[in-house]
């Protein structure tokens, strides 16, 4: 069971959270100029990395805030947490 | 008589005898005994039958690794099954039976399997019972092979779950673990020390040792007491660390109150499951001895050498009078000395090594014991228990020697289970012939025997350092002696040589597995069931993979181990479930006016996590009759319905209207203050995820209505879009569902009832029209009223603060009595909306239903973006033959069609063109009404289809617009 450092509440058990999947997905716009292929890609294509995964998590039984987690899928180590809208942290040397 | 109680010594209280029964026979033991030690001391040699061949089996071990002595303890609701007799603490009146034998362990009819043993190799069942169908044979085979019989009565005991945090969690209270916990507690750390035994001390409870000038067990007792007295430390005995998970989360199982099978004595729970998050973990779980693999090694009387020592020292129970010791390493020599020290005879020590260390053999020869070097045991004799062994000496000559106990040692396995679960990698230590912990994956360190370090001083020092100890560690009085081993993985001789005692897997089965190319350990395990029993292969796995390595000519390190999985020892479902059972398994929410519904005679059912009135049957009235009567009351007079679970979400802020325009498939920004509008929400795939009526309370304040099931989901959905996609919008979202109770008056007399109850505003159709909203007082209670309808009748949806629900309910019922007001349950409410053809989200739709599928294609004309907008023009969603929402009416009968049944054109031989989503008997019309999703349904009004009711059977129905229409095609409510 992961110990997730919520940026607002501090380290809490995984059971307080919900994972929202891959982060940093750009919603294509405007809708009437987006090709079927681009839209399908946005809806359905997800990376499945062996290594650092950038994910959205929600502290659903806590502050109810969404934030980003950089988690290693091999070890479950959490390298960084950062707020929505912030860029990916520089994890060179880790990835 | 073989085993016996020694006249003195042991950690038992001879002044407190205990009576117990095993297999129906009475026995006596003492406080401090385990069931196993008491049976051994009473001379009981056969304690169970093996799983497959039903061979008689005796005690193999003294601890958790026991593979043979599985017992069922207690009777009735408190019967516990498949317990290891070595872990069952004796108590007065304990009743125990061996599992897996009938009628008894000594005489078992299933033993006939043993005669056909040659015909029952690994994989026999899979190969033999394939035709015609394994499922024909499985129940019989499972019954023959079953273990204990659990009670089918409800568990009368209580279990609980606790969460804890600590700086240091120490698993195991042997010398290494105690040293670690002592060091950390002296530093003021929050320490948890976990010991599966009732007593702290581990091997110090039976191995001779001196630490800091005291006997090992004395030192252990004092150390544990000091730790327990430290302000932030906790010592948990009778507690097993059963699982090691990510980020130093561990599960502990504590046996709190009441011995196995006995009533819990008091208010305490029987067991407690701890969920612990530790900053650091020290694994000091010791090591388990390996059996040797030779023909007849499962005969009762053949035991692990360390178990022979432990029974003698801890419980004053000597395993036999005349012993032979068989070993490939130095550690078993201690067992020979223990037997001699307690007055037993040792006929021979058989060491497979040609030249073991001379001091080991010399010490025994000095006591008159024969030592045979380079020798092995090739057969055992005696029925049902051991009377002798055949020794093959270094020259190949066989000698038969009388013995009633054979103490064997094949080396040691560090208890690496938790380390492996934590993600750590094991390394093969060729010198000691064992797997020990390699690189750690978490903040964890293994110490002492668990790390492959068997010297007492080294173990204490490792523990002390791991606990952060400063200065000199506690001092053992003797220097560590190196022990040596010369691996002997199996004795090459004919006969059944068991590797896995609990699942009856022999060395020949492993050879068969190798011949059939199941050479990976994971395949070996599944093909032979090796290591898959309740003991998870604690005594068998390493022997098995080493034999496989020999057979396939690979190094042991390359063969590797199977994965170690939690739990370390079996855990009860009671402990895992904790308090979450019965009503607390999934607590249901109750309506604010729940008590009033009870008084009104409601029959409750669960709907979306709420306990709600399904209907209100009168005396002698059936459920069906009640819902028909309630629905008619709404059509002809007035009904009162509790709709409190309907989702209510406050959306407030300067950008509230813009936000809702992005979220809803239809436009909300043009809604005027005080007006209500129906809306649809889609997901990004374009599927409808919720619907409801939203009202505008102010320019910057909306109250979003959702379905009952969507209340929490949609609030979270709105937050997700705000936080993740549009953080620049000035909007606040607050779910307020449970703050409000909603009581709905519906029917031609609804306005009269509201009037009679007293309302401080004009409620005529012109003053307060359909799809509007007002704040007012009803019967003096501050209220909000929405003019929306789910029944087709005039409706007033009255919301009041939740704590005033009962008051409003009483006032409305009182005011409504002269008008024939009836409380209406959900079932009638659903009939009414079905008659109207109103969609019920989740019943008539599924996760692929689009707005156009339910007749809302006009949202496609919206010229702006919203969630799901782009998906609506994907080719798949524009197909003309999609399932569309329609009504169906039976042509040939008034009986309702079954929900879920498929529809098909009469001319087609097979396939489906849709299915019935809602169906019921209309009380207004006296015939069935139904809604359905039908392929291209809107272009097929009037067409006849068959509702498939069985193979080759069907009922004729006609496709209609949704909802019942009057003779002129007008809606039912005019």
Superfamily of domain B158-287+412-485+564-583: FAD/NAD(P)-binding domain (3.50.50.60)
Q: Is the confidence at residue B44, as pLDDT, over 80? A: yes
Helices B507-515 and B541-552: angle between axes, nearest 10 degrees: 40
Q: Give pLDDT tens digits for B462-472.
A: 999 999 998 99
pLDDT band at B1; cut points 50, 70, 90 = very low
Q: Chain B: residue nearest A73 by CA?
A: B246
Three-state SS for B227? helix
How far is it, in rounded angstroms, from Cα B208 to Cα B151?
43
How far is it, in rounded angstroms, from Cα B506 to Cα B516?
16
Q: Give pLDDT tens digits for B112-162.
A: 666 666 556 666 666 666 666 666 666 666 555 557 778 889 988 899 999
Cβ(A64)–Cβ(A26) below 8 Å: no
A3-83, which class in CATH?
alpha beta
Give A46→chain B minimum CA distance, Å. Answer: 15
Q: Give pLDDT tens digits for B507-541.
A: 999 999 999 999 999 999 999 989 988 888 999 99
Q: Which residue matches tokens 């056969």?
A: B46
Of B247, B720, B871, the CB nearest to A39: B871
The pLDDT score that the predictor gives to residue B938 is: 96
Q: Can you say how many angstroms the Cα of residue B230 is from the centroid of all Cα atoms in its chain?
A: 35
What residues in B contact A39, CB-CB < 8 Å? 870-871, 874
The pLDDT score that the predictor gives to residue B75 is: 84
Dihedral of CA B594/B596/B598/B602: which sign? negative
How far is it, in rounded angstroms, from Cα B331 to Cα B350?
13
Give B247→chain A minimum CA distance, Å. Answer: 6
Q: Around Cβ B891, how many Cβ atoms within 10 Å?
A: 11
Of B441, B719, B869, the CB nearest to A75: B441
Which residues 387-406 on chain B approach chain A with CB closer than 8 angstroms?
Answer: none
Give me the total of CB pairs closer than 8 Å, taking one residue from chain A and one from chain B: 54
CA-based R_g, chain A, Å: 15
- What CATH number belongs to B1-156? 3.10.20.440
CA-based R_g, chain B, Å: 38
The pLDDT score that the predictor gives to residue B478 is: 85
- Say if strands B94-98 and B159-171 run parallel, antiparallel, or are unpaired: unpaired
Q: Give pLDDT tens digits for B782-812.
A: 999 999 999 999 999 999 999 999 999 999 9
B723 touches chain A (CB under 8 A): yes
Give B191→chain A minimum CA distance, Å. Answer: 19
Say if the Cβ atoms of B246 and A36 lie within 8 Å. no
Domain boundaries, chain A: 3-83
Q: Give pLDDT tens digits for B873-929.
A: 999 999 999 999 999 998 888 889 999 999 999 988 889 999 999 999 999 888 899
- Per-chain mean pLDDT for chain B: 93
What residues in B contact A40, CB-CB < 8 Å? 874
How far is it, in rounded angstroms, from Cα B85 to Cα B41?
13
Bond into B212 cis (ω within 30):
no
Least reliable range by pLDDT among B539-548, B712-721, B855-864: B855-864
As a residue count, chain A comes to 95
B277 touches chain A (CB under 8 A): yes
Please report, rounded to a whole number, the percentage of residues in chain B having pLDDT higher than 90: 83
Say if the Cβ atoms of B724 and A84 lie within 8 Å. yes
Of B249, B869, B871, the CB nearest to A1: B249
How far is it, in rounded angstroms, from Cα B547 to Cα B527?
15
Say if the Cβ atoms of B720 and A20 lie within 8 Å. yes
Q: Is the confidence at residue B966, as pLDDT, over 70? A: no
What residues in A contact B719, CB-CB < 8 Å? 64, 66
Best of A8, A74, A76, A82 to disrupt the B interface (most B CBs within 10 Å) is A76
Say if the Cβ atoms of A64 and B247 lie within 8 Å. no
Q: Give the residue numbers in A contacting B (CB under 8 Å), as ranges.
A: 1-3, 13, 20, 27-31, 34, 36, 39-40, 42-43, 56, 58, 60, 64-66, 75-76, 84-85
The pLDDT score that the predictor gives to residue B137 is: 65
B683 touches chain A (CB under 8 A): no
pLDDT band at B974; cut points 50, 70, 90 = very low
What are the E-state strand segments in B332-404? 345-351, 371-373, 376-381, 388-392, 398-402
User: For residues B74 and A11, which has the higher predicted lDDT (pLDDT)?
Assistant: A11
* Interface confidence (ipTM) of the complex: 0.97
Q: Which residue matches tokens 């001391």?
A: B41
The pLDDT score that the predictor gives to residue B894 is: 85
What is B291-410's CATH number, 3.50.50.60, 1.10.260.40, 3.80.10.10, 1.10.1380.10?
3.50.50.60
Q: Is the confidence at residue B433, as pLDDT, over 50? A: yes
Give the pLDDT mean for B12-33. 96
**Nearest to residue B231, comparing CAs of B177, B187, B284?**
B187
The pLDDT score that the predictor gives to residue B534 is: 86
Phi/psi of residue B956, each to 5°? -80, 130
The pLDDT score that the predictor gives to residue B861 is: 76
- Per-chain mean pLDDT for chain A: 95
How far is it, in rounded angstroms, from Cα B720 to Cα A59?
11
Give the pLDDT mean for B416-420. 97
Give the pLDDT mean for B610-634. 97
Best of B275, B859, B870 to disrupt the A interface (most A CBs within 10 Å) is B870
What residues in B contact A58, CB-CB < 8 Å? 716, 720
pLDDT band at B669; cut points 50, 70, 90 = very high
The pLDDT score that the predictor gives to residue B848 is: 95
Q: Is the confidence at residue B691, as pLDDT, over 80? A: yes
Q: Chain A: residue nearest B722 by CA?
A: A66
The pLDDT score that the predictor gives to residue B52 is: 81
What residues in B contact A36, CB-CB < 8 Å? 874-875
């Amino acid at each position: 069971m992961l110990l997730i450092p919520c940026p607002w509440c501090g380290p809490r058990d995984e059971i307080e959270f919900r994972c929202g999947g891959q982060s940093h997905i750009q919603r294509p716009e405007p809708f009437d100029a987006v090709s079927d292929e681009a839209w399908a890609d946005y809806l359905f294509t997800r990376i499945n990395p062996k290594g650092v995964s950038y994910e959205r998590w929600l502290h659903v039984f806590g502050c109810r805030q969404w934030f980003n987690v950089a988690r290693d899928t091999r070890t479950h180590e959490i390298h960084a947490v950062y707020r929505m809208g912030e860029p990916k942290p520089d994890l060179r040397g880790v990835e | 008589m073989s085993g016996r109680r020694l006249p003195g010594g042991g950690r038992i209280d001879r002044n407190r005898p205990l009576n117990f029964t095993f297999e129906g026979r009475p026995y006596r033991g003492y406080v401090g005994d385990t069931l196993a030690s008491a049976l051994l001391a009473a001379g009981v040699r056969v304690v169970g039958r093996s799983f497959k061949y039903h061979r008689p089996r005796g005690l193999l071990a003294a601890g958790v690794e026991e593979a043979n002595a599985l017992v069922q303890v207690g009777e009735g609701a408190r019967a516990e099954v498949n317990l290891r007799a070595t872990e069952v603490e004796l108590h007065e009146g304990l009743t125990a039976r061996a599992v897996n034998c009938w009628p008894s362990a000594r005489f078992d009819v299933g033993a006939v399997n043993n005669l056909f043993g040659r015909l029952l190799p690994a994989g026999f069942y899979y190969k033999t019972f394939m035709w015609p169908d394994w499922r024909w044979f499985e129940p019989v085979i499972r019954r023959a092979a079953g273990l204990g019989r659990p009670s089918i009565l409800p568990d009368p005991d209580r279990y609980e779950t606790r969460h804890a945090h600590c700086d240091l969690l120490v698993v195991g209270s042997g010398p290494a673990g105690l040293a670690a916990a002592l060091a950390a507690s002296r530093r003021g750390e929050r320490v948890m020390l976990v010991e599966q035994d009732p007593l702290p001390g581990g091997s110090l409870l039976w191995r001779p040792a001196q630490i800091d000038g005291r006997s090992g067990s004395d030192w252990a007792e004092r150390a544990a007491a000091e730790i327990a007295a430290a302000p932030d430390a906790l010592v948990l005995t009778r507690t097993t660390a059963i699982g090691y998970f990510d980020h130093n989360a561990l599960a502990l199982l504590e046996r709190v109150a009441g011995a196995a099978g006995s009533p819990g004595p008091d208010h305490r729970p029987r067991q407690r499951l701890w969920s612990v998050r530790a900053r650091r973990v020290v694994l000091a779980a010791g090591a388990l001895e390996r059996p040797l693999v030779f023909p007849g090694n499962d005969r009762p009387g053949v035991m692990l050498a360390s178990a022979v020592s432990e029974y003698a020292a801890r419980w004053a129970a000597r395993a036999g009078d005349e012993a032979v010791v068989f070993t490939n390493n130095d550690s078993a020599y201690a067992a020979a000395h223990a037997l001699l020290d307690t007055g037993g005879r040792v006929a021979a020590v058989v060491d497979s090594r040609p030249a073991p260390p001379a001091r080991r053999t010399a010490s025994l020869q000095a006591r008159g014991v024969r030592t045979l070097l380079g020798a092995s045991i090739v057969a055992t004799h005696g029925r049902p228990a051991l009377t002798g062994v055949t020794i093959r000496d270094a020259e190949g000559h066989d000698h038969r020697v009388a013995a009633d106990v054979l103490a064997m040692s094949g080396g040691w396995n560090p208890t690496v289970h938790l380390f492996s679960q934590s993600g750590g990698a094991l390394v093969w230590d060729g010198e000691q012939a064992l797997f020990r912990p390699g690189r750690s994956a978490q903040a964890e360190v293994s110490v002492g025997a668990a790390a492959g370090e068997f010297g007492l001083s080294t173990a204490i020092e490792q523990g002390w350092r791991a606990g952060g100890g400063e200065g000199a560690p506690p001092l053992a009085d003797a220097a560590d002696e190196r022990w040596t081993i010369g691996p002997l993985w199996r004795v090459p001789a004919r006969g059944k040589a068991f590797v896995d005692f609990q699942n009856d897997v022999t060395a020949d089965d492993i050879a068969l597995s190798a011949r059939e190319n199941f050479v990976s350990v994971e395949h070996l395990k599944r093909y032979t069931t090796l290591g898959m029993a309740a003991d998870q292969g604690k005594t068998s796995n390493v022997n098995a993979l080493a034999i496989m390595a020999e057979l396939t000519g690979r190094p042991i390190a390359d063969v590797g181990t199977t994965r170690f999985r939690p739990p370390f020892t079996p855990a009860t479902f009671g402990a895992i479930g904790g308090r979450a059972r019965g009503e607390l398994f999934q607590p249901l929410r109750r309506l604010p006016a729940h008590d009033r519904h009870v008084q009104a005679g409601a029959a409750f059912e669960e709907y979306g996590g709420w306990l709600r009135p399904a209907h209100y049957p009168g005396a002698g009235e059936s459920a069906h009759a009640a819902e028909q009567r309630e629905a008619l009351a709404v059509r002809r007079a007035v009904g009162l319905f509790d709709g409190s679970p309907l989702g209510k979400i406050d959306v407030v802020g300067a950008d509230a209207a813009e936000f809702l325009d992005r979220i809803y498939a239809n436009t909300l920004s043009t809604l005027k203050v005080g007006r209500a509008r129906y809306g649809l929400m889609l997901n990004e795939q374009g599927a409808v995820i919720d619907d409801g009526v939203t009202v505008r309370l102010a320019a910057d304040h909306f109250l979003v209505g959702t379905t009952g099931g969507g209340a929490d989901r949609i609030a979270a959905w709105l937050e997700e879009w705000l936080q993740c996609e549009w953080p620049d919008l000035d909007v606040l979202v607050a779910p307020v569902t449970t703050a409000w109770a909603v009581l709905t008056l519906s029917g031609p007399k609804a306005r009269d009832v509201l009037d009679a109850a007293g309302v401080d505003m004009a409620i005529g159709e012109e003053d307060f029209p359909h799809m509007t909203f007002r704040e007012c007082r009803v019967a003096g209670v501050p209220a909000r009223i929405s003019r929306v309808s789910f029944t087709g009748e005039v409706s007033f949806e009255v919301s009041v603060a939740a704590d005033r629900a009962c008051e409003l309910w009483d006032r409305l019922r009182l005011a409504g009595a002269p008008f024939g007001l009836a409380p209406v349950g959900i079932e009638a409410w659903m009939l009414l909306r079905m008659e109207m053809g109103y969609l019920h989200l989740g019943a008539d739709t599924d996760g692929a239903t689009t707005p156009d599928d339910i007749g809302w294609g006009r949202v496609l004309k919206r010229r702006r973006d919203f969630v799901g907008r782009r998906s609506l023009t994907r080719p798949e969603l524009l197909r003309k033959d999609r399932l569309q929402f329609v009504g169906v009416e039976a042509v040939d009968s008034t009986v309702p069609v079954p929900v879920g049944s498929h529809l098909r054109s009469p001319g087609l031989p097979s396939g489906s063109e849709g299915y019935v989503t809602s169906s019921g008997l209309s009380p207004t019309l006296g015939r069935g009404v139904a809604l359905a999703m039908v392929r291209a349904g809107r272009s097929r009004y009037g067409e006849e289809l068959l509702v498939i009711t069985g193979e080759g059977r069907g009922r004729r129905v006609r496709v209609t617009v949704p909802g019942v229409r009057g003779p002129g095609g007008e809606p039912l409510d005019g």
